[in-house]
């Protein structure tokens, strides 16, 4: 190889230090290549951007019939022109909040365990396990929740409703705790169970974002905390958590976006009702996506339009949450070079 370099330079004999033009201008095949790349970018952008447009076009009929009452009506009878997403939208938000309450502490605990406590081999194993948990299809979570958890775990909502029934949304009006023969179905098919299962579904997504941001906490500052006599928890509280704060917030919002859009697991667990159900432990719940999945097969053409409109509302909601989440996470990435 060195012999090749020893060959007299055909260019260098003129003015070697002057700024030279680049020898090969991007042209010919490279221009085509750039065109192809840009074309792919345009295609993806077009696909993603037209999602909302198409839903809007199809849902416009329904919007114009329902008007603003689309957001205030609770019932869903599109064929008699009396429909709205008030009940399902509130249901969606309630399920997502329960999911976050379940998922956030678990994800935080798991992420801290993986990044701070686990030995190296366990770290890799658990990271894979969490990724696998994210890849488990939602219908499997739905099976688990609908056929096992909500019938075997009646103790949890009963205990919660008896002990904390004085908090309005944790009471179950249909239930009679003094009657030992009271049916257990009042505790099943509820917002709580749907939220619990969705919480386990979104937990891996939150956890992996948190873990990423925790492991990026600078080693120097960790050792500094230890050198100042900190315990491990002291180090976590003063270095890892502040460093990973935006990762925590961003990951949680990403999980929220996913929880809002979750369809099949929710549709399997709940029994749909069309009133705002504030009692999260009581039977009956609903969400926008479950509404679409359940009404789709039997909907008239106008009903399809109404479902499209509901889908558009869900799309807008998740889009706002996701944009906010990516903005927060992007800010956390920019701070990763703070280890001097």
Q: Restricting to residues 214-233, which ones interact with other proteins according to CB under 8 A?
A: 226, 229-233
Quick one: which of 63, 131, 55 has its CA closest to 318? Answer: 55
DSSP-derived pairing of the beta strands 76-77 and 82-83: antiparallel
Place of tokens 């809002």: 260
Six-digit token pair at 321? 């949450």
Please state, in angstroms and rounded to a whole number, the distance separating the CA atoms of residues 170 and 180: 20
Backbone dihedral angles phi then psi of residue 296, each to the nearest 5 degrees:
-60, -50
Q: Where are the alpha helices (DSSP H) in the chain?
A: 2-5, 29-66, 86-112, 120-135, 138-143, 150-152, 155-163, 191-215, 219-227, 232-235, 241-243, 245-261, 264-269, 288-295, 301-334
* Least spacing, CB of residue 39 vs other proteins, in Å: 8
Query: Could you tell me if 286 and 91 are in contact, meaning their C-beta atoms sit under 8 angstroms apart?
Result: yes
Query: Which residue, 180 or 278, is less far from other proteins as judged by CB?
Result: 180
Site for other proteins in 186-215 (CB under 8 A): 200, 203, 207
* Least spacing, CB of residue 332 vs other proteins, in Å: 13
Asked if 241 interacts with other proteins (CB under 8 A), we say no
Six-digit token pair at 206? 């939150």
Query: Which residue, 38 or 278, is less far from other proteins as judged by CB?
Result: 38
Query: Which residue, 281 or 307, is less far from other proteins as judged by CB?
Result: 307
Query: Could you tell me if 250 and 216 are in contact, meaning their C-beta atoms sit under 8 angstroms apart?
Result: no
Query: Which residue, 85 or 307, is less far from other proteins as judged by CB?
Result: 307
Quick one: which of 69, 75, 71, 66 has its CA closest to 273? Answer: 75
Asked if 167 interacts with other proteins (CB under 8 A), we say no
Query: Which residue, 78 or 142, is less far from other proteins as judged by CB?
Result: 142
Applying CB under 8 A, among 156, 241, 273, 276 the residue interacting with other proteins is 156
Please state, in angstroms and rounded to a whole number, the distance separating the CA atoms of residues 231 and 225: 8
Helix (H) or strand (E) holding 83: strand 82-83
Applying CB under 8 A, among 108, 239, 280, 328 the residue interacting with other proteins is 108
* Least spacing, CB of residue 45 vs other proteins, in Å: 5
Query: Could you tell me if 133 and 204 are in contact, meaning their C-beta atoms sit under 8 angstroms apart?
Result: yes
Site for other proteins in 75-94 (CB under 8 A): none
Per-residue 3-state assignment (H helix, E strand, C coil) for 165-181: CCCHHHCCCCCCCCCCC
* Least spacing, CB of residue 206 vs other proteins, in Å: 11
Query: Which residue, 55 or 90, is less far from other proteins as judged by CB?
Result: 55
Six-digit token pair at 149? 């958890």
Asked if 164 interacts with other proteins (CB under 8 A), we say no
Interface segment toward other proteins; rule CB under 8 A; list 125-133, 168-176, 271-279, 332-340? 125-133
Applying CB under 8 A, among 143, 241, 273, 276 the residue interacting with other proteins is 143
Applying CB under 8 A, among 86, 264, 273, 276 the residue interacting with other proteins is 264
Site for other proteins in 283-322 (CB under 8 A): 289, 292-293, 296-297, 304, 307-308, 311, 314-315, 318-319, 321-322
Distances (CA, A) of 280 to 68, 175, 277, 330: 27, 13, 7, 34
The interface mask with other proteins, positions 1-40, x = CB under 8 A, is: x-xx--x---------------xx-x-xxx-xxx-xxx-x
* Least spacing, CB of residue 40 vs other proteins, in Å: 4
Asked if 276 interacts with other proteins (CB under 8 A), we say no
Query: Which residue, 113 or 302, is less far from other proteins as judged by CB?
Result: 113
Applying CB under 8 A, among 41, 67, 183, 335 the residue interacting with other proteins is 41
Query: Which residue, 278 or 327, is less far from other proteins as judged by CB?
Result: 327
Please state, in angstroms and rounded to a whole number, the distance separating the CA atoms of residues 266 and 272: 10
């Amino acid at each position: 190889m060195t012999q090749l370099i020893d060959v007299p330079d055909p260019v260098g004999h003129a003015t070697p230090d002057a700024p030279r033009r680049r020898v090969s201008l991007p042209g010919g095949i490279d221009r085509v290549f750039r065109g192809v790349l840009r074309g792919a970018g345009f295609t993806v952008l077009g696909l993603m951007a037209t999602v909302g447009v198409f839903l809007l076009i199809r849902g416009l009929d329904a919007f114009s019939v329902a008007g603003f009452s689309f957001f205030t009506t609770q019932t869903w009878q599109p064929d008699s022109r009396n429909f709205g997403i008030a009940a399902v939208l509130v249901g969606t938000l309630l399920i997502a909040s329960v999911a976050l309450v379940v998922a956030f502490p678990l994800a935080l605990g798991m992420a801290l365990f993986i990044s701070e406590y686990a030995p190296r081999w366990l770290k890799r194993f658990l990271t894979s396990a969490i990724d696998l948990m994210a890849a488990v299809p939602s219908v499997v979570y739905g099976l688990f929740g609908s056929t096992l958890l909500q019938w075997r775990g009646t103790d949890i909502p009963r205990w919660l409703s008896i002990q904390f029934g004085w908090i309005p949304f944790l009471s179950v009006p249909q239930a009679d705790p003094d009657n030992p023969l009271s049916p257990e179905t009042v505790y099943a098919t509820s917002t709580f169970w749907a939220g619990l299962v969705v919480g386990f579904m979104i937990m891996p997504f939150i956890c992996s974002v948190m873990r990423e941001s925790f492991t990026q906490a600078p080693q120097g500052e960790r050792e500094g905390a230890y050198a100042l006599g900190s315990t491990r928890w002291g180090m976590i509280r003063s270095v890892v958590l502040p460093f990973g704060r935006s990762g925590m917030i961003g990951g949680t919002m990403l999980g929220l976006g996913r929880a809002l859009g979750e369809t099949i697991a929710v549709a399997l667990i709940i029994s749909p009702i069309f009133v705002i159900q504030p009692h999260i432990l009581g039977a009956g719940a609903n969400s926008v996506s479950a509404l679409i999945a359940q009404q789709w097969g039997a909907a008239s053409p106008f009903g399809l339009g109404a479902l499209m409109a509901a889908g558009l509302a869900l799309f807008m909601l998740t889009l706002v949450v996701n944009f906010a989440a990516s903005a927060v996470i992007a800010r956390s990435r920019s701070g990763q070079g703070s280890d001097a």
